[in-house]
Structure 1
Amino acid sequence: MELLRKWLGHPEDIYHLLRFKMGGYRVVMPRMDPDSLGLGLRTCYRYLNQTSRSFAAVIQALDGELRHAVCIFYLVLRALDTIEDDMTISLDIKVPMLIEFHSYLYQPEWKYMESKEKHRQVLEDFPTISMEFRNLAKVYQDVISDICHKMGVGMAEFLEKKVDSQSEWDRYCHYVAGLVGIGLSRLFSASELEDPIVGQDTELANSMGLFLQKTNIIRDYLEDQLEGREFWPREVWSRYTKKLSDLTKPENIDMAVQCLNELITNALRHVPDVLTYLSRLKNQSVFNFCAIPQVMAIATLAACYNNKQVFRGVVKIRKGQAVTLMMDATNMQSVKAIMYQYVEEIYQKIPSTDPSSNKTQQIIASIRAMSLPSGPMASRHHYSPIYLSCAMLLAALSWQYLSTISKATEEYVQAGEN
């Protein structure tokens, strides 16, 4: 009944869930014919689906040869990330592996059989991945190899180093996500589906990655604490507590929320760059690929802002809400409207006593200026009384059916995998 009450409170979710389930997902995630691929590529796409059912869907929706380049790019970085995450590998072995990993792309027989990580198959069958990498056009190979090299060096740097300053937070996020944004942008331009400026403007591409990574780090505070990881910058949290873990203590909840709000304000600084970046994209499949994660991120930050639950459990956007965002974020006007909607939601929650309130208001003002919708805001979520009645009736009749929506779809719309 709890699920039913949620849907009755958000009837638009029901409409979009049904629309998505009944075939609307093909607008943003059209199927790819696996029979058109050779054995090596089929294997790579199988690994892609096994290691990331979320990104697998949008990667396979990309147009032309770009799809294969991004698939291989993802698997190469997944292999690199698997080495970084594997705590059973000693540092004297791991550090050289990370730094030299890009060179393994050109060694047909290289593989690593000693990993204990759950995604170790990408290391154990790296010869298949590297073979398909070498089958890519050289322009794609050069991008993937270069980003892999830079990321490996960055990962090695932060293996035994904690994130202290805000500039180091930006640097860490650059290595693990900004470089991905830069690499993807260069691949988009190399495919000629996008103009050269998309790949050349590394500052905007970096911001795309930083906005997603910071959102994940902010949202995942409690999960990271439970697993012994710390990614919040000391420069910020040390103003509120002596130890980052102390933010979970009930007596510190007010200070914890203020710290949270400051970090969200920091992340919001990237939104103007995100809007500028997206406005340059011309290809529909590339636009969907880039826009969907960004609108998921702004919705997640709006849910987290000034929310004590971040320190008590998991904060997630509703599944129906996520599907609605996926279905809507297919053009620039809609993306601007979505950004406007969620920064307004944050603005309405800014406490007058919050130390970051002025900064939060300032960045929201700059986002408003860029995202003011040309049409009425109600156009995205205007539902007539007749529609609302029908939707509520539909909820009562179909809530149990909708609760069985496929696991793959659910994992995709939970927004925020790596």
Structure 2
Amino acid sequence: MLTEIDFSSQQEHLKNVSRTFALTIPMLPDALVDYISNAYLLCRIADTVEDDPKAAVDKKISWLKSFSLFCKEGFNDEMELLKLHKQAVDLVHDGAVDKEFDLISDMPAVIKRTLTYPVKIKNILSRGVSILSLGMSRSLEGTEIKDLNDVDHYCYYVAGVVGELLAALFYEHNHDIDRKELMALSVSFGEGLQLTNILKDRLVDKDREACFLPIKKDGSNASEVVKEYLAICQGHLDDALSFILMIPTKESGIRLFCLLNIAMATATLKLLSEADVAEDRNVKISRRTVKILYILSKMVVKNNILTRMFFSYISRGVKRVKRDPHELRSRVSCWERLPF
């Protein structure tokens, strides 16, 4: 009989595999801390398999598709869970770092905790993690980024769907939220955070012959493309601010969780806009900056006017391109139509 992981052990895993989310998730209301921590670990399990440097690509694709289907069907098949767990352990045994392998080892217990949640919460996690895992399998099958549409679809599967998952959870927590409008902004919110990481890690990705921007193989258009996508990314982060302002001011924990994440992303974009596109591979905001952003975010988060002023101040000087978040979601989202 499989047993669920306890809350403290779940949070220890979170701390071990993501310092950023271990910092921001505890800002949420208590129930959401549990649900979103669990959701992050489910996503990280899939990500650990996808990123394993030593596992065979065809085996990773097969596992991710099977895991996606298992999640889509509500995490309920215990025999399938045991099979997926054994396969995952075998796949990442030689390539995963210790903390990630520990998470894979606890995979059945993490999912057993998922099964204890209310049906609506479990269904949201089921849908989100299923889409994300399938997207990862498709990425491994070969992702050629030729234009902005390709970037949008790639970002949707690894981050836009997470924005949708968060929006759905926030609505279940507080039905005063305009669910339709929050969902409309959620994909742009997720893409802004993902594009920040793509831009920040571009040179590291290049070393492993990966590229998630439409940059030519000879790199001749790299500077132009990076500048273009810095502006596109800031436009998405502007939508992320609108996402936050849709949430009632009394939900200060949810707002702070979102605001600090986009504030750190915007600060990173500012550094990137001032960096050498060809050479700077260690662009990262300092711990002191994170601390300052946290203090300021906490001061303004309960007031929409102050929140807007704060975001305007930290993003000043960064060019932005405004896109239509409704059109983006209608074009890329699978949330209402699972791709099976």
2:42 alignment counterpart: 76
Runs ≥4 residues deviating over 4 A: none
Match of 1:276 among 222, 242, 245: 242
**For the Cα contact (< 8 Å) 1:99–1:152, is it kept in 2?**
yes
Give the alignment of 1:76-225 within 5 angstroms: 76-102=42-68, 103=70, 105-108=75-78, 109-110=81-82, 111=85, 112-114=88-90, 115=92, 116-118=95-97, 119-159=100-140, 160-192=142-174, 195-198=176-179, 201-225=182-206
SS of 2:54's partner is coil
Q: Is the 8 A contact 1:187 1:199 kept in 2?
A: no
Identity in percent: 23
TM-score when normalising by structure 1: 0.66
- CA distance, structure 2, for counterparts of residue 155 and residue 289 of structure 1: 26
What does residue 34 of structure 1 align with? none
What is the RMSD of the two structures over their aligned residues, measured on CA atoms?
Answer: 2.4
8 Å CA contact 2:263, 2:314 repeated in 1: no
Q: C-alpha distance in 2, partners of 1:243/1:341? A: 37
Cα distance, 1:319–1:275 mapped onto 2, change above 3 Å: same
Counterpart for residue 22 of structure 1 = none
Equivalenced residue count is: 299
Distance, in Å, in 1 between the alignment partners of 2:278 and 2:200 is 7
Q: Work out which of the two has the higher radius of gyration on C-alpha atoms and give 1 or 2.
A: 1
1:172-321 maps to which residues of 2 (within 5 A)? 172-192=154-174, 195-198=176-179, 201-233=182-214, 237-238=215-216, 242-244=217-219, 256-282=222-248, 283-308=251-276, 311-321=279-289
Specify whether residues 168 and 195 from structure 1 end up closer, same or farther in structure 2 by C-alpha distance, changes over 3 A only. Answer: farther
Could you tell me which runs of 5 or more consecutive residues in structure 2 were left unpaired when the two chains were aligned.
325-340
Contact 2:114 2:122 (8 Å CA) reproduced: yes
Q: By how many angstroms is 1:309 displaced?
A: 5.6
Structure 2 counterpart of 1:202, one-letter code: M
The 8 Å contact of residues 80 and 98 in structure 1, kept in 2 or not, is answered as: yes
In the other structure, the counterpart of 1:376 is none
- Give ranges in structure 1 of 5+ residues lacking alignment: 1-37, 247-254, 348-359, 367-418
Question: Is contact 2:5-2:112 (8 Å) kept?
Answer: no
Residues of 2 paired with 1:326 and 1:204: CA distance? Answer: 23
Residue type of the alignment partner of 1:137:
P
- CA-CA distance at 1:215 after TM superposition: 0.9
Query: Alpha-carbon deviation of 1:344?
Result: 2.6
TM-score of the aligned structures, taking structure 2 as reference length: 0.80
Deviation for aligned residue 1:317: 2.5
Task: Name the counterpart of 1:60.
Answer: 26
